[in-house]
Amino acid sequence: MKHVNSWVYRLKNNKGTMNIIDQGQGTLFTDPEPDKARAVFREKNRQMVNKVMEVKEAVSTFVHDGDYLGIGGFGANRTPIAIIHEILRQGRKNMGLAGHTATHDMQILSAGEAYDKLDAAYVVGLEARGLSSCSRKYLESGKVDVTEWTNYALTLRMKAAAMGVPYIPARNMMGTDTFKYSAAKLAECPFTGTKTVLLPALYPDIGIIHVHEADIYGNARFRGIAISDLDLASASKRLIITTEKLIHHDEIARDPSSTNIPYYMVDAVCEVPFGAYPGNMAYEYFSDEEHLKEWLTVERDPEAFAAFLKRNIYDCPDHEAYVAANGGARKMRELRAKELLTFTEED
Amino acid sequence: MSDYNDMEMMIAVASRELEDGASVGVGTGAPCAAAMLAQKMASPNLSIFFEAGGVSPQLPEMPISVGDSRTFYKAAMAGSMGDTMEACARGFVDYTFLGGAQIDKYGNLNSTVIGDQKKPKVRFPGSGGANDFGSLCWRMMVLTPQDKKRFVETVDFLTTPGYLEGGNSREESGLPIGTGPYKIITNMAVMDFAPDSKRMRVISLNPGFTFADVQENCGFELLQADNLQQTKPPTAEELRILRDEVDPNRYVIGR
């Protein structure tokens, strides 16, 4: 009995009995406390109600200045571009950003200087295409508070949030400056003595994810790789789904095992055909490499870049206008051929 | 004049490290080309893992992104980043190829910043999946040009762990036991790491280069293996497959 009592005592009064060996000096931008997140999720609507709205309304209702943003997909693959453009059009500022596989999505947000807090895992680059001078200059300006992580670390932080726990242990980042400039802690495992990095749960204020199909309630499904979208969907306090097309709920109900994201997590559903353009949407259209190259080239010239942004974002009322301004249906047919040539080839 | 370029040489050498039946975590560019070449040469049963979730695709062409649709073309699975990295964490992935702006004598890599992290002189992408692969895969390899600016005494920022401060420091840090840098493949030589000190050591010289050439293009003192080998140049078969099948558009191997 004495044992039990002392255990209860420790539990109540000793916040840190686990031996913390070291900790990163980076800023922790979001609160990992699970009971605060539970209080938020408790208030969310669990009813299957029609959540369809225009992108403009979804952003004005659910995305606010200062919000911490998590973006689905992988930079320029199945990324909700329409929402990101609208965030610029509505002039959001001082946002936090999960720089998880962040490529073209971050390039757009850097152009609008929409964020000033960044959890950096993969940032600035567009992979094999090269580095974005716009994102780079913005980070080099010193205007952004940057905390370092890794792609897997940010995935795990969202997984912890999805699990409703305050942190998750992992075995990456140890011994490096990536750890030193993170907000992680290093601790000895109480079971094995193994050193583990403790990654704090990440609950984004707003998550945005693009999918192939969704019904009006937000039951959503995508094809191809999930990247980190299932954890992002679960971890986000508010969630906007953009979908290539709306489908009837009967279609979801006919095949519920294909649902990736269930309605109760979702706050808004926006139908946006070609919504990942100029990125790649698996089985639908390949990325528009010419247009992405134009981005990387034009952003080096401030005047030309301002005109480019005006033409492609600020003067476009919506994503349809953006796609139309860059070749419209004809371009999308080309990109579909590029994607499907691969997938329709004989075995 | 040889009938191949530096990149073709490095890719061919790298591909030979991937034995049949092994698994490798790759990114875009040269590492992906090396894995594709290995599959078409001696290692048809090589398992390729992409960090975004593609497992064992039959790559129809070079991917532009590690998350584009090519990375799960005719794949065994279109999974998630968690699936891939957790497989690495459990010890399923034998090799990975990484790169960076700087590398030091213990194989530590910098792909984050030059200068101050808070207001950097040059900002690079950061870890991405590199620290994860470099921490969790069994053997990390690096493909990079031999250059004094890249091979530095101390990296400006230690993004991805090599052997940290040498000796046992990697294991002592808590990183999985038995993991670490394995081979460094450049246009001039192949290096490994001395068993005790974990310092970079030249084991093989590429045709046309001496140890002095390599040392001259390296910002720290290199060790030299007792039995220095000559690196085998790409064979005609390797070059044909690399040029005709792996990278016909010459995105990676250049013109």
Query: What one-character-per-residue DSSP string does A223-267 give?
Result: -S--BTHHHHHHH-SEEEEEEEEE--HHHHHH-GGG-SB-GGG-S
* Over residues A295-323, mean pLDDT: 98
Q: Which of A124, A112, A295, A126 is nearest to B113 (CA)?
A: A124
- The per-residue pLDDT for B61 is 87
Question: Residues, chain B, total?
Answer: 255
* Over residues B80-105, mean pLDDT: 97
Architecture of the structural domain at B6-246: 3-Layer(aba) Sandwich (3.40)
Report d(CA A331, CA B69) in Å as an integer.
Answer: 19
- For the stretch B152-203, pLDDT in tens is 999 999 999 999 999 999 999 999 999 999 999 999 999 999 999 999 999 9
Cβ contacts of B129 on chain A, cutoff 8 Å:
122, 150-152
Cβ contacts of B79 on chain A, cutoff 8 Å:
225-226
Tell if the CB–CB gap between A171 and B176 is shorter than 8 Å.
Answer: yes
Q: Which of B131, B162, B136 is nearest to A148 (CA)?
A: B131
- The per-residue pLDDT for A341 is 72
- For the stretch B114-163, pLDDT in tens is 999 988 999 999 999 999 999 999 999 999 999 999 999 999 999 999 99
* Over residues B222-236, mean pLDDT: 97
| CB contact at 8 A, A198 and A184 | yes
Report d(CA A24, CA A231) in Å as an integer.
Answer: 24
Nearest CA in chain A to B81: A227
CA–CA min distance B206, chain A (Å):
27
CA–CA min distance A5, chain B (Å):
33
Give whole-number Cα distances, B148 to A31, A72, B216, in Å: 44, 39, 8
Residue A194 sits at the chain B interface (C-beta within 8 Å):
yes
- Nearest beta carbon to residue A128 from set B28, B54, B85: B28
Q: Which of B124, B65, B161, B234 is nearest to A74 (CA)?
A: B65
Q: Percent of chain A beyond pLDDT 90?
A: 92
Given the residues B8, B17, B51, B238, the one annotated as active site: B51
pLDDT exceeds 90 at position A14:
no
Report d(CA A93, CA A116) in Å as an integer.
Answer: 8
Quickly count: other Cβ atoms within 10 Å of residue B20's Cβ. Answer: 12
- The per-residue pLDDT for B73 is 94
- A307-317: b or e for each residue (b if 16 or more CB lie within 10 Å)? ebbeebbeebe
pLDDT exceeds 90 at position A6:
no
Average pLDDT, chain A: 94
- Nearest beta carbon to residue B124 from set A124, A280, A289: A124
- The per-residue pLDDT for A11 is 47
Cα A314 to chain centroid, rounded: 22
Q: Which stretch of DSSP H or E encloses residue A159?
A: helix A151-163
Q: Which residues contact A8 (CB under 8 A, 6 or more apart)?
A: none
- The per-residue pLDDT for B1 is 52
Q: Is B64 exposed, middle or buried (0-12, 13-18, 19+ CB in 10 A)?
A: buried
pLDDT-derived band at A4, boundaries 50, 70, 90: very low
- The per-residue pLDDT for A342 is 52
SS3 category, B171: helix
Tell if the CB–CB gap between B173 and A224 is shorter than 8 Å.
Answer: no
SS3 category, A213: strand
Number of A/B CB contacts below 8 angstroms equals: 202
Cβ contacts of B130 on chain A, cutoff 8 Å:
150
pLDDT-derived band at A2, boundaries 50, 70, 90: very low
Cα A20 to chain centroid, rounded: 30
Q: Percent of chain B beyond pLDDT 90?
A: 92
* Over residues A160-187, mean pLDDT: 98
| CB contact at 8 A, B81 and B52 | yes
- The per-residue pLDDT for B60 is 87
Q: Percent of chain B beyond pLDDT 70?
A: 99
* Over residues A155-182, mean pLDDT: 98
Tell if the CB–CB gap between A339 and B122 is shorter than 8 Å.
Answer: no
pTM: 0.95
Q: Name residues 262-301 of chain A within 8 A of B (Cβ).
A: 280, 282-283, 286-287, 289
The single residue listed with the structure tokens 């394995």 is B182
- B211-231: b or e for each residue (b if 16 or more CB lie within 10 Å)? eeebbebbbbebeeeeeeeeb
Quickly count: other Cβ atoms within 10 Å of residue A258's Cβ. Answer: 13
Report d(CA A120, CA A65) in Å as an integer.
Answer: 20
* Over residues B220-230, mean pLDDT: 97
Structure tokens at B36: 């594709």
Structure tokens at B247: 């990278």
Cα A289 to chain centroid, rounded: 22
Q: Which stretch of DSSP H or E encloses residue B49?
A: strand B47-50
- Nearest beta carbon to residue A176 from set B53, B64, B159: B159
pLDDT-derived band at A87, boundaries 50, 70, 90: very high
Q: Which domains does chain A have, with CATH numbers?
A: 31-166+201-344 (3.40.1080.10)
Q: Which residues contact A47 (CB under 8 A, 6 or more apart)?
A: none
pLDDT-derived band at A8, boundaries 50, 70, 90: very low
